[in-house]
A and B are shown apart, each in its own frame.
Chain A
Amino acid sequence: MYKLLLCWRYLRTRWIALASVISVTLGVATMIVVNAVMAGFSHEMQTRIHGILSDLVFESHSLSGFQDPAWHMEEIRRAAGDDVVGMTPTVAVPAMLNYQVRGQWITRQVMLIGIDEATHAGVSDFGRYLQHPANRGQLSFELREGGYDTVDSQAGGEEPTRPALEGAGWPHRRMRVERERLWREKLEADRATDPAGGDRASGGGEPVRSVDRQVDAVLAATDAAAREAAVEPPARPADPFRQARPAEQGTRMDPAKEQFTGAVPGIGLASFRDASGTDRFLVLPGDDVKVTFPTAGTPPKAISDTFTVVDFYESKMSEYDSNFVFVPIATLQKMRGMIDPQSGLASVNSIQIKLRSGADLDVVRDRLRKAFPADLYAVATWKDKQGPLLAAVDMEMAVLNILLFLIIAVAGFGILAIFFMIVVEKTRDIGILKSLGARAAGIAGIFLGYGLFLGLVGAGAGLALGLAIAANINRIRAGVEWCTGQRVFDPSIYYFFKIPTIIDPLTVGWIVAGAVGIAVASSVLPALRAARLQPVEALRHD
C-alpha cells in the first residue's frame, strides 16, 4: 500500500521525471502520425494501383502480342475455373503524344493502350477515373456534347477546380475550328493586301478591318488562355504530320462536325495544377492530338495518326496519369497491322483478368502459369506488377519505425538516469522503509510502479496527441503552409488533395505497449539498486 502513496508523493515533488515523459509522448505521437500517414499513402497507392491494374495480367513477352484473344480467354477460363468474373484484351505499345500549345509542338512519351470500351471498365476501376459522368457509366470514344466535371469527382468539394472543362466537348471543338478558320481567312486577307507577308506591326496606321472585328468577337467568347494562344503570331509552322499521313490527304472531313478516333489521355499529360489548386489544361476534350507508335511488324516502323481527345483519365497516380493514353483496341490493332489478313484474327498484348472477390490471386496466377508456356506468356498479379514499389514502401515504413522507436529508447535512458538520481537522493528514505519492515520487492515495486506510471502517462499523452494530429493533419498542413508560405504537401505531385491517414489499432497498440515497456524496463535497474540497498548503509547516509 505504501508503494502507491509513495509513488504518488514522489511524483508530485519530482517534476523533473515528467520531463522524460515528454520525450516518450513525442516519440509515441510521432510514431502514430508517421504510421498513420504511411499507411494512408500505402493504402491509397494500393487502391490506385489495383484500380488501374486488374487482378491478374496475362501478357505476351513480344510487342506484337499473341493472336486470337478469344481462344486464350477460353483457355484461361478453363484453367482458372470459376474464379474469373471478367476479362478484357488490351494492346499496349510505347508511343509519342504530340499536341500544339500556342504554336509550339509538345511531345510526351506515353504508353498507348488499346482497350475494349465495352468490357474494360469491368475488370478494373478504369471507369471511375474518367471525367465525364456518362463515360464513368459506360465509356464511349465518341466526343460528348459537354457536361464534363468541373469539380474533381474523386476529391469532392464545391469549388470548381477545373473551370476549363466547362465548355469542353463539341462546343470547344466548334469554337476552335471557327477560330482557326477565321485566322486562316485573316491571314489570307493580310496576304492579299500586303504581299510582303502578314507583317502587321509595320502597318500600324491601318484602319480596323471587318475581319479583325469578327475575330475579336469570337475571341471574346472564348477564355483568356485561349485568347492568349490566339494572339500568338499566326504564322504556324507547317504541320509536320502532314507528310506522315499521305493517305489522309484525299479525305476531306469537316472538323466542326466530325472527330478523329477518340483517345483518353491521362490527365497529367494534358494539364498542370497551379499554385491556387486550379487545374490548367493544355488540351481539352474536343482538341486533336497526334500519336506516333510502332507497327507490329519486324522491324517495327513508326506510324502516326490523329486522335480526338474525348475524356481524361485520372487515377491520381501521377506515374500513370502522365503516361497512359487509351484508344479503342480495334483501331489500334488495325493501325499497327495486328490483324492477320488471311484469318482475320487480331492479336493482343495482354488480357486483363478480374477474379471474384475473395479469390486467392497467387493460386490462380500459379494455375495459369502452369497452363501456359512461360517462355511465351507472363502472368502476374497486380501486386507482382508493383512489387518493388510496394516493397519499398514497406521497407521505408520499417526503417522509419526503427528510427522513431529509438527516440522512445532515448527517453528510456532519460528515465534511467533520473531514476538513478532519485534512488541516490532517496537512499535514506529507502533505508527507513526497510527499517520499518518493507521488503526488497516492495521497494523495487515503488520504482517499477513509478516507471509504469511515467510510461502510461507519456504513452497516453502521446496517443492522444498522435491521434489528434493524425485526425487534423490536413488542417495542420494548411496552417504550416500559411505560416511559412511554403508548400508542405504538393497535391500536384501526389494528385491527392488531402494527406491520407489510416489509424491501425494494432500498430497503435504496439507503439503504446512498446513505449510503456521501455519506461518500465528503464526503471528496472534503478529499482534493483534500490532493492539491494543495505538498510544500515542507507540509514547512515545523510
Chain B
Amino acid sequence: MTSATLESPGAVAVPAPPASLLTVRSLRKRYRSGDKVLEVLRGVDFDLAPGEFVSVIGQSGSGKSTLLHLMGLLDGADAGSVHLAGRRIDDLPGRDRDRLRNTDIGMVFQAYHLLPELTALENVLAPLMVRHGLWAWCRERSEARRQATDLLKRFGLGERLHHKPRQLSGGEMQRVAIARALVGGPRLLLADEPTGNLDAESGGGILDVLAALNRSEGLSIVLVTHDASIARRADRIVRLVAGRVETA
C-alpha cells in the first residue's frame, strides 16, 4: 500500500529512505497492581538506523523487557508511538500487528521459548506455518524446510534437526530460537537477554552469531541486557534509567 502510494504518478517527490528503521517516541507504560501504580517507562525516545546493532542496558526491573515487548508489538503502550520504517505500527489493528510480528520482527528471549512438543526443525518452521494456510503450506513446504535446515546448519545444528528442545543444551536452544526469529526474513531482531541463562562460553557463541548476522547481512538488532560487557559487542549502547533512555 505504502509503496503504491509512493510510486503513484501523483506523488511530487520521493522521500529519502528513512534514516531510522525503528523510531520510538515518548513511550509510556505503567503497570497497575492493585492500588499501586508502577510507572516503568516515562517517555522513552529511541532510534535504530537500518543495519545498526544497539544494546539497551539497564538494571534488572528497569523496564528493558517492557520496552522490547512494546517495540515487538506484544503489548500496548499507554502513550507514545512506535514507527517501523516510517510507518506507525503500534496503533494498527490486531490482525496487522500479528502479520508484522510474523514477517518483519524477529524476537529472541532469555528463556528461549521454544515449543516443547516440536523438534528443532519444526520450531524453526513454526513462523512459516503460522504465515501460510494449509494449501499454501503444502506448496511452500519443501522450500521452507530447505531454508530452515540451511539456517540450522549455519548455526552448527545440522545434527540436531529432529531433536526436541529438551534434548538440546541451552546454547543450542538459543541458536534454534535465533534461527526461528530469522526464518521469516525480518528487518529487525529484538533480543531480550539472550545470554541470560547461558554460561560465558555459549553466551559468547550466541553474541558471535548475532554480531556476524549484523555484519554480513546488515540485520538491525536491538539487544537488551543488564551486563555491560555483553552490551559492548554492539555498535552503540543506550542506557535505560528511571524510565528514560540516555545515551551512554
Q: Chain A residues in contact with chain B, CB under 8 A?
A: 1-2, 4-6, 9-10, 13, 428-429, 431-440, 442, 534-536, 539, 542
Beyond A1-B137, A2-B126, is A437–B117 a contact (Cβ under 8 Å)? no
> Which 10 residue pairs of A and B lie closest in terms of their CB atoms, listed nearest first?
A437-B102, A1-B137, A2-B129, A9-B117, A437-B101, A1-B129, A536-B75, A535-B74, A436-B127, A432-B113
Complex contact A436–B130 (CB within 8 A): yes
Residue on A with the closest CB to B137? Answer: A1
* From B113, B132, B137, contact of A435 by CB (8 A): B113
Complex contact B113–A1 (CB within 8 A): no
B225 touches A (CB below 8 Å): no
B209 touches A (CB below 8 Å): no
Cα A6 to Cα B129 in complex, Å, equals: 11
B111 touches A (CB below 8 Å): yes
Complex contact B130–A2 (CB within 8 A): yes
Q: Closest CB-CB distance, B94 to chain A, in whole Å?
A: 7
Residues of A within 8 A of B117 (CB): 6, 9-10, 13, 429
Complex contact A435–B115 (CB within 8 A): no
Residues of B within 8 A of A536 (CB): 69, 74-75
Cα A10 to Cα B117 in complex, Å, equals: 7
Residue on B with the closest CB to A542? Answer: B111
Complex A-B: 12 CB contacts under 8 Å:
A1-B130, A1-B133, A2-B129, A6-B117, A429-B117, A432-B113, A435-B72, A435-B101, A436-B102, A437-B184, A439-B95, A539-B109
* Of B72, B107, B113, B118, most A-chain CB atoms within 10 Å: B113
Interface size of B by CB at 8 A reads 34
Residue on B with the closest CB to A428? Answer: B113
Cα A434 to Cα B137 in complex, Å, equals: 19
Q: Chain B residues in contact with chain A, CB under 8 A?
A: 69, 72, 74-75, 94-95, 98-103, 107, 109, 111, 113-118, 122, 126-127, 129-134, 136-137, 180, 184
Residue on A with the closest CB to B97? Answer: A437
Residues of B within 8 A of A539 (CB): 69, 74, 109, 113
Complex contact A434–B95 (CB within 8 A): no
Cα A2 to Cα B126 in complex, Å, equals: 7
Residues of A within 8 A of B74 (CB): 434-435, 535-536, 539
Complex contact B129–A5 (CB within 8 A): yes
Beyond A6-B117, A534-B75, is A437–B99 a contact (Cβ under 8 Å)? yes
Residues of B within 8 A of A2 (CB): 126, 129-130
Cα A9 to Cα B127 in complex, Å, equals: 17
Cα A536 to Cα B129 in complex, Å, equals: 22
* From A4, A433, A534, contact of B134 by CB (8 A): A4
Complex contact B75–A436 (CB within 8 A): no
Residues of A within 8 A of B75 (CB): 534-536
* Of B95, B100, B130, most A-chain CB atoms within 10 Å: B130
Cα A5 to Cα B127 in complex, Å, equals: 13
Cα A436 to Cα B130 in complex, Å, equals: 7
Residue on A with the closest CB to B75? Answer: A536
Cα A189 to Cα B143 in complex, Å, equals: 115
Complex contact A429–B116 (CB within 8 A): yes
Cα A433 to Cα B18 in complex, Å, equals: 31
Residues of B within 8 A of A535 (CB): 74-75
Q: Closest CB-CB distance, B153 to chain A, in whole Å?
A: 22
Residue on B with the closest CB to A440? Answer: B94
Complex contact A433–B116 (CB within 8 A): no
Residues of A within 8 A of B118 (CB): 5-6, 9
Q: Closest CB-CB distance, A186 to chain B, in whole Å?
A: 95
Cα A414 to Cα B142 in complex, Å, equals: 40
* From A5, A432, A437, contact of B122 by CB (8 A): A5
Residues of A within 8 A of B127 (CB): 436-437
Q: Closest CB-CB distance, B43 to chain A, in whole Å?
A: 20
Residues of B within 8 A of A435 (CB): 72, 74, 101, 107, 113
Complex contact A442–B122 (CB within 8 A): no
Q: Closest CB-CB distance, A453 to chain B, in whole Å?
A: 15
Cα A439 to Cα B129 in complex, Å, equals: 12
- Could you list 10 further interchain pairs (A-B, Cβ under 8 angstroms) beyond the known A4-B134, A436-B126? A2-B129, A5-B122, A6-B117, A6-B118, A432-B114, A434-B101, A435-B113, A436-B102, A437-B130, A536-B75
Q: Closest CB-CB distance, B110 to chain A, in whole Å?
A: 10
Residue on A with the closest CB to B123? Answer: A432
Beyond A435-B72, A534-B75, is A442–B116 a contact (Cβ under 8 Å)? no
Residues of B within 8 A of A439 (CB): 94-95, 98
